[in-house]
């Protein structure tokens, strides 16, 4: 199970790195919705601080979810999120429980943290 989580994180970071390194500086940035700060209800009602940015075009879009690192909050990936949104992705970056302004107690990669991630995925798909 830990290997699958590690593999998933590696794949997400590879996607972000590939997307960001293939951007041409001469291309105009496509329209996005701009950043919106949101509260996402995690497991047992814990409030997770998050932000979301999406393509301006209506319709369904694939999503990228970025949990913040221990050193910074959900604002950590704003530049990457803007680039990804410009390429057609809805990007949700959130601060895991117990860190910064998110509620609850720290449970890094524990059952509560994984349940929170599931809630973030559910919130993103609505």
- For every residue of 20-76, DSSP letters joined together read HHT--TTSPPPPB---EEEEEE-GGG-EEEEEEE-BSS-S---EEEEE--SSS-GGG
The residue-averaged pLDDT of 2-12 equals: 45
The rounded distance, in Å, linking the Cα atoms of 61 and 84 is 11
Whole-number pLDDT of residue 54: 96
The pTM of this model reads 0.76
pLDDT digits (tens, 9 = 90+) for 95-120: 999 999 999 999 999 999 999 999 99
Domains of the chain: 2-124 (3.40.50.1820)
In a 3-state reduction of DSSP, which class is residue 98?
Answer: coil
Segment 70-94 shows an average pLDDT of 93
pLDDT tens digits, one per residue of 22-78 = 544 456 667 999 999 999 999 999 999 999 999 999 999 999 999 999 888 888 999
Residue with tokens 């509560």: 112
pLDDT(5) > 70: no
């Amino acid at each position: 199970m830990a290997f699958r989580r590690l593999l998933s994180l590696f794949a997400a970071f590879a996607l972000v790195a590939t997307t960001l390194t293939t951007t041409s500086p001469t291309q105009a940035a496509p329209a996005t919705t701009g950043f919106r700060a949101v509260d996402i209800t995690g497991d047992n009602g814990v409030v997770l601080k998050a932000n979301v940015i999406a393509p301006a075009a209506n319709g369904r879009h694939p999503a990228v979810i970025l949990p913040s690192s221990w050193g910074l909050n959900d604002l950590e990936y704003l530049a990457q999120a803007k680039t990804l949104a410009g390429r057609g992705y809805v990007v949700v970056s959130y601060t895991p429980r117990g860190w910064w302004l998110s509620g609850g107690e720290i449970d890094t990669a524990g059952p509560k943290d994984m349940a929170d991630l599931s809630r973030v995925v559910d919130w993103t798909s609505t």
